[in-house]
A and B are shown apart, each in its own frame.
Chain A
């Protein structure tokens, strides 16, 4: 025993330390993933008997208008949510200066990320309110007809994305602010000597040094876009007539909401969402792996 331990200590010890983490990960992450995939092959209301339907849920999904609406909205979210990155960069550059009280301004700009998404959703619902909302008061002041953003299928998803961009921009801003702290002043000085300024300075000197921040901002924004749920739930409850649904909300609606409890169907939606996320997650993992090997 003693000899065995002596001989293999080097290889066993790391696993012992990893064991609690691995156990948690298996129980709370890996097992539920496979559990969901399994449930997605059943017709189940969460209470009674499960009935095996094979690919039935997926076939139904392909024939479900609501699924395509959600998918389309998810893509809109993915694309438009990325605007938070340049916006966050811009704010960070703007705030990256030494003025009296700059810390207060920084915290104020960070504020939307600190407050709960539910509050953000409520604030924006009032902002868009067709009667007394600030938006329509402003539109009225310049002589335009009021727009009921959240009750109009054409605008509703954009309206919610704008609400989502508000805190997400703050998040990206803080990532870039910390990144800017790490920018090498000597390189900037050298660039100055070579007469670089403005856009050139930003593009060739600052941005390359901010690459780690950009990468993280990209990852959190994409994941954030795919799991967008709270704002949809608070601001429109998926409406009007389901036109602002996204996959995460659609899954919740089918599986857990008042009129749902179709666990199998909900699980099938979750699996599809998981597959879409996997594209990004594997890209992310691949890059991490490559970076690790590079050093």
Chain B
């Protein structure tokens, strides 16, 4: 027993030594991909990388999704890994500004990523440099109950009038048109993004989230007026402020609500809840202003090299591997999302096919998401305002003035 204990301690010591002394060829990766599918996907990528680079030892630290958002700040400064996953757009700006991410333009150059990952190049660029490699993204849009639409003789709406008419029909049948849970606010951000993209277009939306346009602008009011039309027509689930996005899936599963403005990650829980692919459908958010080119929302997930990384050479090798078409095909098959690399194959899943078709034909531009395009503080205030507006639309002026005040402070 004593002998065993002694051995156990020495193994632990050895393990502790291994993890602290970074000798050449050791690669430390931190990710927050702790949900089953992302975890399996990353496991496969790392296994594949190890098979091609047998001289590199990979240490992979898995973090819980929520905890990661705080820990990343600590480990980037104190004990940096060689690679860490994060998000594109404004979400990575604080780390780029603080000099904690390494520019990886050479990886893009040497591997021809400027061609293969072209669609995400814009959201990876800050100050003319690229700061990471995107490996997956997913579409947003309207997920709906096909069977309910059919039972009520509703065709998939393609424009604003049809959309409102569909809602009226659903309401008449005692079905809530759109389910939503705004307890954690961001779901309301998704609705705002689409209404604004359809009302004013991509360029205006980006200018707004970059703080170049006043929140009290007439064009913002136009977006909100469209939103109010939906509110007046009882489009949204009652008491949505009490629910998380997962809780708001229930009315849709039970057939009490017919649509959900959501990201593709909503499909998995809908299927798990027992809906079949014949019951779930997807359509592009309908046109509001026909003069505005259709822009879509597709948040991109990325991997970065921290500036304090010890083994940047192998880290760059890993990024090149992760950017490869065949690797992105595989990882996204497991994730159930879309590969960024335009040479990759998209999974057979009908939602992925639909999303890919929609996004690859998008001419208006691709937004990341409200809380990735706008800086954190603005995003928080904005989404809180949207939630309040959805319940108390009469407070619109006060809300917009409050947001304008925040804008004055955030973008200096």
| Chain A residues with a Cβ under 8 A of chain B | 45-48, 60, 65, 128-130, 148, 150-151, 236-237, 239-242, 253, 256, 258-262
Contact = CB atoms under 8 A, between A and B. Distances in A.
A60 B182 CA distance: 28
Nearest to A125: B242
Interface string B269-280: 000000000000
Interface size, B (range)? 20 to 34
Given A239-B387, A240-B388, A242-B384, A46 B73 contact: yes
Contacts of B98: 45, 47-48
25 contacts: A45-B94, A47-B95, A47-B98, A65-B402, A130-B239, A130-B242, A148-B241, A150-B241, A151-B239, A151-B240, A151-B241, A151-B391, A237-B183, A237-B184, A239-B183, A241-B385, A241-B388, A241-B391, A242-B384, A256-B70, A258-B376, A259-B371, A259-B376, A260-B377, A262-B377
B402 A241 contact: no
A128 B242 CA distance: 9
Interface of B: 66, 69-70, 73, 76-77, 94-95, 97-98, 100, 182-185, 238-242, 371, 376-377, 379-380, 384-385, 387-388, 391, 402, 409
Given A48-B98, A129-B242, A241-B387, A261 B73 contact: yes
Please name the 3 residue pairs, one residue from A and one from B, whose CB atoms are nearest each other, closest first.
A259-B380, A241-B388, A151-B241
Contacts of B376: 258-261
B94 A261 contact: yes
B273 to A, nearest CB: 16
A47 B73 contact: yes
Contacts of B238: 130, 148
B94 A47 contact: yes
Given A241-B385, A258-B69, 10 more contacts: A47-B77, A48-B98, A128-B242, A130-B238, A150-B241, A237-B184, A241-B241, A259-B376, A259-B379, A259-B380
Contacts of A241: 241, 384-385, 387-388, 391
Contacts of B185: 239
Nearest to B371: A259
A130 B238 CA distance: 9
Nearest to A149: B242
A6 to B, nearest CB: 47
Contacts of A258: 66, 69, 376
B248 to A, nearest CB: 11
A65 B405 CA distance: 11
A259 B383 CA distance: 11
A61 to B, nearest CB: 12
Contacts of A237: 183-184
Nearest to B188: A241
Contacts of B240: 151
B239 A47 contact: no
Contacts of B379: 259
Contacts of B76: 47
A45 B183 CA distance: 26
Nearest to A49: B98
A60 B391 CA distance: 27
Contact of B409 (A60, A150, A260): A60
B387 A240 contact: yes
B163 to A, nearest CB: 25
Nearest to B76: A47
Nearest to A132: B250
A65 B182 CA distance: 21
A32 B383 CA distance: 33
A148 B242 contact: yes
